[in-house]
Amino acid sequence: MQADDNQPIATLYHMPMTCSLSVRIAAALGDVPLHIIQADTLGRDAYQAINPLRQVCTLITPDGETITETSAALMWVQSQSADDAFRREPKDADYYQLIRWIAFVATEIHKQIYRMVFYDELDDGSKDNIRALAPTRFELLDKHLTQRKFLIGDHISAADAYLCWAMRLAERAGLNPASYTHLIAYARRVESIPTIDAALADDWERKQEEIRK
């Protein structure tokens, strides 16, 4: 979401359909305003000055602090939300479950699978070996979601924003979660939330514009 021009807000350096989309989704869910700058429009040297690894996401807080790593950016965004149901505080029992599931998506799906299968330098056989890790992760999620609407109880969280992005990219990554019925039902339920549907549609249009250039 965007805020009044006079209100200091965080800046998200973003690239369409990448992991920084999950931060956009979390911000929309938590009604946390962000100024979004498409990182690939800045040029290699300019963005490297902001993030030496030239990766997204990079979040600059209103105080000028730089936060890299999607998991850290998600935690910051959710901490800024005025929505008591969306925001989890350290004193809450769900807080460490939030960290657990953000870390799970980050380490078990994002970095361990997606980061590798989208490397052009990796050969197809190696990518297939990495994709073979997915079923155990999908099975764990499917079982966890058997009697839950979301990853943590009955209200959506920043962890769901991350998993939503991961599920959106599953087919592009060559993964097939179709047999995991609870996981698929969850993904459809989350994507149907109006704020998420709007963020996904906007990001897809940004991606198409990028392709057309």
pLDDT digits (tens, 9 = 90+) for 45-101: 899 999 999 999 999 999 999 999 999 999 999 999 999 999 999 999 899 999 999
SS3 140: helix
My answer on whether 48 and 101 are in the same domain is no
- Asked if residue 22 lies in contact with residue 162, where contact means CB atoms within 8 angstroms, the answer is yes
- CATH number of the structural domain spanning residue 180: 1.20.1050.10
**Domain contains 3:** no
My answer on whether 99 and 187 are in the same domain is yes
My answer on whether 137 and 62 are in the same domain is no
Please count the structural domains in the chain.
2
Q: Determine the pLDDT at residue 4.
A: 52
Range of the domain at 200: 10-86+196-207
- Asked if residue 73 lies in contact with residue 57, where contact means CB atoms within 8 angstroms, the answer is yes
- Asked if residue 86 lies in contact with residue 113, where contact means CB atoms within 8 angstroms, the answer is no
Q: What is the pLDDT of residues 143-193, one digit of tens each?
A: 999 999 999 988 999 999 999 999 999 999 999 999 999 999 999 999 999
- CATH number of the structural domain spanning residue 16: 3.40.30.10
